[in-house]
Protein backbone atom coordinates (compact mmCIF):
# COMPACT_ATOMS: atom_id res chain seq x y z
CA UNK A 1 0.00 0.00 0.00
CA UNK A 2 1.42 3.40 -0.91
CA UNK A 3 1.48 5.85 1.98
CA UNK A 4 1.93 9.60 2.28
CA UNK A 5 2.48 11.42 5.56
CA UNK A 6 1.40 15.04 5.71
CA UNK A 7 3.52 16.56 8.49
CA UNK A 8 2.76 19.80 10.27
CA UNK A 9 4.07 21.38 13.47
CA UNK A 10 5.14 24.74 14.84
CA UNK A 11 8.56 23.21 15.43
CA UNK A 12 10.43 22.29 12.27
CA UNK A 13 12.62 19.61 13.89
CA UNK A 14 10.56 18.88 16.98
CA UNK A 15 8.99 15.72 18.35
CA UNK A 16 6.45 15.18 15.60
CA UNK A 17 9.10 15.71 12.95
CA UNK A 18 11.44 13.20 14.61
CA UNK A 19 8.65 10.60 14.58
CA UNK A 20 7.79 11.21 10.95
CA UNK A 21 11.46 11.30 9.93
CA UNK A 22 12.11 7.91 11.54
CA UNK A 23 9.13 6.44 9.73
CA UNK A 24 10.09 7.90 6.37
CA UNK A 25 13.76 6.89 6.82
CA UNK A 26 12.76 3.31 7.58
CA UNK A 27 9.89 2.63 5.22
CA UNK A 28 8.67 3.57 1.76
CA UNK A 29 6.33 6.33 2.99
CA UNK A 30 6.65 9.72 1.39
CA UNK A 31 6.64 12.74 3.65
CA UNK A 32 5.03 16.04 2.67
CA UNK A 33 5.90 19.00 4.87
CA UNK A 34 2.96 21.38 5.12
CA UNK A 35 5.27 24.26 6.03
CA UNK A 36 6.83 24.02 2.57
CA UNK A 37 3.46 24.73 1.00
CA UNK A 38 1.46 27.91 1.06
CA UNK A 39 -2.04 26.96 2.19
CA UNK A 40 -4.21 29.80 3.39
CA UNK A 41 -7.38 29.87 5.47
CA UNK A 42 -10.60 28.61 3.92
CA UNK A 43 -12.24 31.34 1.86
CA UNK A 44 -15.96 31.07 1.05
CA UNK A 45 -15.25 33.05 -2.14
CA UNK A 46 -12.32 30.82 -3.13
CA UNK A 47 -10.08 33.75 -3.94
CA UNK A 48 -7.17 31.65 -2.69
CA UNK A 49 -7.76 28.88 -5.23
CA UNK A 50 -4.33 29.48 -6.79
CA UNK A 51 -2.38 28.73 -3.61
CA UNK A 52 -0.71 25.36 -2.97
CA UNK A 53 -3.73 23.50 -1.56
CA UNK A 54 -5.12 21.97 -4.75
CA UNK A 55 -1.69 20.97 -6.19
CA UNK A 56 -0.76 19.43 -2.84
CA UNK A 57 -4.04 17.49 -2.74
CA UNK A 58 -3.46 16.33 -6.31
CA UNK A 59 -0.20 14.78 -5.10
CA UNK A 60 -1.71 13.25 -1.95
CA UNK A 61 -4.54 11.50 -3.79
CA UNK A 62 -1.93 9.48 -5.67
CA UNK A 63 -1.43 7.48 -2.45
CA UNK A 64 -3.69 4.75 -1.05
CA UNK A 65 -3.07 5.70 2.59
CA UNK A 66 -2.79 9.29 3.83
CA UNK A 67 -1.45 9.88 7.34
CA UNK A 68 -1.89 13.23 9.03
CA UNK A 69 0.92 14.03 11.48
CA UNK A 70 0.42 16.81 14.00
CA UNK A 71 1.49 17.56 17.57
CA UNK A 72 -1.28 17.84 20.14
CA UNK A 73 -1.73 21.50 20.94
CA UNK A 74 -4.45 22.19 23.52
CA UNK A 75 -5.99 18.74 23.02
CA UNK A 76 -6.34 19.32 19.31
CA UNK A 77 -4.40 19.35 16.04
CA UNK A 78 -1.95 22.20 15.42
CA UNK A 79 -3.33 25.30 13.74
CA UNK A 80 -1.51 24.68 10.46
CA UNK A 81 -3.14 21.27 10.14
CA UNK A 82 -6.55 22.74 10.97
CA UNK A 83 -6.13 25.26 8.15
CA UNK A 84 -5.37 22.38 5.79
CA UNK A 85 -8.34 20.33 7.03
CA UNK A 86 -10.66 23.33 6.59
CA UNK A 87 -9.51 23.59 2.98
CA UNK A 88 -10.85 20.09 2.31
CA UNK A 89 -14.12 22.01 1.91
CA UNK A 90 -12.75 23.19 -1.45
CA UNK A 91 -13.10 19.58 -2.59
CA UNK A 92 -16.85 19.77 -1.97
CA UNK A 93 -17.21 22.94 -4.01
CA UNK A 94 -14.60 24.02 -6.55
CA UNK A 95 -12.88 20.70 -7.24
CA UNK A 96 -15.33 17.84 -6.64
CA UNK A 97 -13.53 15.41 -9.00
CA UNK A 98 -10.39 15.73 -6.86
CA UNK A 99 -12.46 15.19 -3.72
CA UNK A 100 -14.03 12.04 -5.14
CA UNK A 101 -10.57 10.57 -5.54
CA UNK A 102 -10.31 10.39 -1.75
CA UNK A 103 -13.14 7.88 -1.56
CA UNK A 104 -12.03 4.43 -0.47
CA UNK A 105 -8.60 5.58 0.66
CA UNK A 106 -7.18 4.78 4.09
CA UNK A 107 -6.39 7.54 6.53
CA UNK A 108 -4.55 7.59 9.87
CA UNK A 109 -3.23 10.02 12.44
CA UNK A 110 0.18 10.38 14.06
CA UNK A 111 0.51 12.68 17.03
CA UNK A 112 2.81 13.56 19.89
CA UNK A 113 2.04 15.23 23.16
CA UNK A 114 3.21 15.73 26.70
CA UNK A 115 0.38 13.74 28.30
CA UNK A 116 0.53 9.94 28.69
CA UNK A 117 -2.59 9.43 26.62
CA UNK A 118 -4.40 11.37 23.95
CA UNK A 119 -8.03 12.37 24.52
CA UNK A 120 -10.68 11.17 22.07
CA UNK A 121 -11.15 14.77 20.92
CA UNK A 122 -7.72 14.60 19.29
CA UNK A 123 -8.51 11.82 16.83
CA UNK A 124 -12.28 12.19 16.45
CA UNK A 125 -12.14 15.09 13.95
CA UNK A 126 -9.94 12.96 11.71
CA UNK A 127 -12.21 9.93 11.98
CA UNK A 128 -15.36 11.99 11.32
CA UNK A 129 -13.77 13.95 8.48
CA UNK A 130 -12.55 10.73 6.89
CA UNK A 131 -16.04 9.26 7.15
CA UNK A 132 -17.58 12.35 5.56
CA UNK A 133 -15.16 12.12 2.66
CA UNK A 134 -15.69 8.40 2.16
CA UNK A 135 -12.26 7.47 3.51
CA UNK A 136 -11.54 4.66 5.97
CA UNK A 137 -9.99 5.90 9.23
CA UNK A 138 -7.60 3.24 10.48
CA UNK A 139 -5.85 4.32 13.65
CA UNK A 140 -3.89 6.85 15.62
CA UNK A 141 -0.29 6.43 16.63
CA UNK A 142 0.20 8.66 19.67
CA UNK A 143 3.59 9.02 21.31
CA UNK A 144 3.92 10.63 24.69
CA UNK A 145 6.96 12.90 24.74
CA UNK A 146 7.13 14.51 28.20
CA UNK A 147 10.63 15.65 27.42
CA UNK A 148 12.40 15.89 24.09
CA UNK A 149 11.70 12.94 21.73
CA UNK A 150 14.16 10.11 22.35
CA UNK A 151 14.19 7.38 19.76
CA UNK A 152 15.18 4.72 22.31
CA UNK A 153 11.90 5.31 24.20
CA UNK A 154 9.76 4.80 21.10
CA UNK A 155 11.73 2.60 18.70
CA UNK A 156 9.73 -0.59 19.41
CA UNK A 157 6.42 1.24 18.93
CA UNK A 158 7.62 2.88 15.73
CA UNK A 159 9.02 -0.36 14.32
CA UNK A 160 5.70 -2.09 15.10
CA UNK A 161 3.85 0.69 13.32
CA UNK A 162 6.12 0.33 10.29
CA UNK A 163 5.53 -3.40 10.21
CA UNK A 164 1.78 -3.31 10.83
CA UNK A 165 0.58 -0.10 9.23
CA UNK A 166 3.15 0.77 6.59
CA UNK A 167 4.34 -2.54 5.23
CA UNK A 168 1.21 -4.15 3.84
C1 LIG B 1 0.84 25.44 22.02
C2 LIG B 1 1.09 24.11 22.66
C3 LIG B 1 0.02 23.42 23.21
C4 LIG B 1 0.22 22.18 23.78
N5 LIG B 1 -0.87 21.49 24.26
C6 LIG B 1 -0.70 20.24 24.75
C7 LIG B 1 -1.82 19.48 25.20
O8 LIG B 1 -2.96 19.90 25.16
N9 LIG B 1 -1.59 18.24 25.71
C10 LIG B 1 -0.33 17.71 25.79
O11 LIG B 1 -0.18 16.59 26.25
N12 LIG B 1 0.75 18.40 25.32
C13 LIG B 1 0.58 19.65 24.82
N14 LIG B 1 1.67 20.35 24.36
C15 LIG B 1 2.98 19.68 24.32
C16 LIG B 1 3.24 19.12 22.92
O17 LIG B 1 2.13 18.40 22.42
C18 LIG B 1 4.42 18.15 22.92
O19 LIG B 1 5.55 18.80 23.46
C20 LIG B 1 4.70 17.68 21.51
O21 LIG B 1 5.50 16.51 21.56
C22 LIG B 1 5.39 18.77 20.69
O23 LIG B 1 5.55 18.34 19.37
P24 LIG B 1 6.33 19.31 18.34
O25 LIG B 1 7.77 19.31 18.77
O26 LIG B 1 6.13 18.70 16.99
O27 LIG B 1 5.67 20.65 18.46
C28 LIG B 1 1.52 21.61 23.81
C29 LIG B 1 2.59 22.33 23.29
C30 LIG B 1 2.38 23.56 22.73
C31 LIG B 1 3.55 24.31 22.14
Q: Decide: 73 in ligand 1 pocket, CB within 6 A.
A: yes
Pocket test for ligand 1, best of 11, 13, 74 (most atoms within 8 A of CB): 74
Residue in 22, 25, 38 with CA at minimum distance from that of residue 158? 22
What is the signed CA dihedral for 79, 81, 87, 89, rounded to 10 degrees? Answer: -100
Per the CB < 8 A criterion, the answer to whether 11 and 149 are in contact is no
Domains of the chain, first to last: 3-166 (3.40.50.360)
165 contacts: CB under 8 Å, gap ≥ 6: 108, 138, 139, 141
pLDDT score, position 168: 64
With residue 161 as reference, give the H or E element that holds it: helix 151-161
Q: Decide: 121 in ligand 1 pocket, CB within 6 A.
A: no
Kindly list the averaged pLDDT for each block of 10 residues, start to end, along the chain of length 168. 97 98 97 98 97 98 98 98 98 96 98 98 98 98 96 98 89
pLDDT score, position 152: 97
With residue 71 as reference, give the H or E element that holds it: strand 65-71
Amino acid sequence: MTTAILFSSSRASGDTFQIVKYLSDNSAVQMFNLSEHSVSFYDYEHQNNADDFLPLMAELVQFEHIIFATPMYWYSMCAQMKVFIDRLSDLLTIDKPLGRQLRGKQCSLISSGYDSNAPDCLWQPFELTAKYLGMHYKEMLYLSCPSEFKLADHKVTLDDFIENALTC
